[in-house]
Amino acid sequence: MRTMKIRVTSRYNVRAHDDLASHLDDLMSALHRIEQQARDVEGADVAAALTTGIVDISAVVTADSWEEADHRAAKVFADAIQSAGGRVASDAPAPGDDESLTADIRSTEMVPA
Amino acid sequence: MAAKGPARKERIGVRVEGWFHDHWPAITNYAGTLALALAGVAGFLVADQPSKSSTAFIPWWPWSAATTTAALLAVGAVLVGAGLLGSIAAAKATNRLQADLDTASENLLVHATGIEAVLRAILVRICTDLSMYRDDTRASIYALDGAEFVLLARVSKSPTLKIGGRPTYPSDQGIIGLAWRHGRYSITGLEEERDAWERQAVSEYGIPPEIAATLRMQCRSIVGIRVDGAEPELHPLAIVIFESEAPRGVNGKTIDQILAARAWETLAAAVKNMQAEIEGIARVRGVLRTPSLGASQDRARARS
């Protein structure tokens, strides 16, 4: 396997999910804390369009596969959301299962090494 | 600055020479016609005043009216004849070139259809191996021609989804452009409701509204993988797009599976080996703007 850097972006609709919008600063701080502690996560960012209730969370994950990057990012984002006082959908299965990805939309793209 | 004057004159000279070379039969024809018209005027004067036929009808003109008429008739006939022969020769050359062009186009289209069949066969193999040869999924391969992507081949188990759509796709629109820029790209969870999906395509992926409304497949997850040339240049050659109508029908995991598939290696090798042919086909397809290679061939057959 070749180690890759993959930017994963997850979109959350705060009207459909949890109220992330009111926790944006806490969310960013939580992501930065994870970035400092984890060697495989960098470039975390949060972009919010409060008028539409859309919050995009992204991070560059170093992984051996796209699946691993996808799951790692899902776990990082879920941890950050919980740490910021938000709540990941309680009826969702554990991160790691494809069906557990609670974001409305997720995109992944290759980042130049 | 001093060299500009002579160079410009030379360029003008070359252009005039080229223009004359291209149009000499017509020029000769016009000059001959003018000479015959003047001969007609001079002949009219001779007929009108027969007594003056042997004298100069213009004070400074050295020849008599009869001699002038005969000379103009002779020059006119020669020029018109030469122009006619030149036109016939030019028409023959044009017909030969057109026949060569038609033959080359037909050969290229037959060749293109063969390449399309190879690419389709490999795409079907990849989809079958990964359980993606389904009614709700399709795979397409595109090549870039200038600023537009041209569809080379498309497969789907669904007869509707495998129909070719637009003949060309602007490189700055949609997921194809994103995948081309990033090399690998996946997106999942696109809108379920058609109106919202079209709005999303317009606002987030730059698809024009009138195009979004006509898109046949409402794909909700897409994966794009670029095929690059050999190292060290890694020149991008083609982009393969896998689309599914399910929100996570294709995803990041699919990229891992595709890249690990043996048939993917075959596809990448085929694209690299047929690079020149694929670029040629993309150029011709871009010009013909037909929805599929088969359609181009059908059109060529209908013409012949």
Binning pLDDT at 50, 70 and 90, where does residue B294 land?
very low
pLDDT for residue A88: 64
CB contact under 8 A, A109 and B189: no
Binning pLDDT at 50, 70 and 90, where does residue B53 land?
low
Amino acid at A75: K
Give rounded-to-5 percent helix, strand, coil for chain B: 60, 15, 25
Q: Are strands A54-63 and B137-145 parallel, antiparallel or unpaired?
A: unpaired
CB contact under 8 A, B255 and A103: no
Beta bridge partners of A62: A5
In the block, tokens 């690998």 appear at B184
- Higher local confidence (pLDDT), B110 or B221: B221
Q: What is the mean pLDDT of chain B?
A: 85
Tens digit of pLDDT for each residue in A5-57? 999 999 887 765 556 677 788 889 999 999 999 999 999 998 888 777 788 89
Beta bridge partners of A5: A62, A111
Q: Which residues of B touch A108 (CB under 8 A)?
A: 184-187, 252, 255
CB contact under 8 A, A106 and B188: yes
Binning pLDDT at 50, 70 and 90, where does residue B209 land?
very high
B228-237 mean pLDDT: 78
Cα A80 to its chain centre, rounded Å, is: 8
In the block, tokens 């075959």 appear at B266
pLDDT for residue B249: 92
Tens digit of pLDDT for each residue in B61-91? 777 778 888 888 999 999 999 999 998 998 9
Residues 201-230 (B) with a CB less than 8 A from some CB of A: none
Shortest CB distance from B252 goes to which of A67, A99, A103?
Answer: A67
Q: What is the DSSP string of B5-54?
A: HHHHHHHHHHHHHHHHHHHHHHHHHHHHHHHHHHHHHHHHHHHH-GGGTT
d(CA B295, CA B19): 38
B172 interface with A at CB cutoff 8 Å: no
d(CA B3, CA A81): 71
Tens digit of pLDDT for each residue in B87-146? 899 899 999 998 988 887 777 777 778 888 999 999 999 999 999 999 999 999 999 888
d(CA A99, CA B273): 40
| Token pair listed for B142 | 């595109």
Whether the predicted model's global pTM rises above the 0.80 cut: no
In the block, tokens 């944006």 appear at A24
Tens digit of pLDDT for each residue in A69-95? 988 998 898 889 888 877 665 444 444
Binning pLDDT at 50, 70 and 90, where does residue B57 land?
low
d(CA B47, CA B245): 89
A107 interface with B at CB cutoff 8 Å: yes
Residue B171 confidence (pLDDT) above 70 = yes
Q: What percent of chain B has pLDDT over 70?
A: 88
B281-304 mean pLDDT: 55
| Token pair listed for B182 | 């990033």
Shortest CB distance from B256 goes to which of A11, A66, A98?
Answer: A66
CB contact under 8 A, B251 and A109: no
| Token pair listed for B259 | 């890249």
SS3 B140: strand
DSSP-derived secondary structure letter, B154 = E
Beta bridge partners of B76: none
Contact call for residues B155 and B125 (beta carbons, < 8 A) = no
Binning pLDDT at 50, 70 and 90, where does residue A99 land?
very low
B255 interface with A at CB cutoff 8 Å: yes
d(CA B107, CA B112): 8
Q: Specify the CATH class of B107-303 in words.
A: alpha beta
In the block, tokens 């899902």 appear at A74
Please list the alpha-helical segments (H only) found in B130-251.
174-182, 194-205, 209-212
Q: Which residues of A touch B182 (CB under 8 A)?
A: 109-110
Q: Give the residue extent of every domain in chain B.
A: 16-100, 107-303
Q: Which residues of B touch A104 (CB under 8 A)?
A: 189
Contact call for residues B223 and B258 (beta carbons, < 8 A) = yes
d(CA A76, CA A44): 10
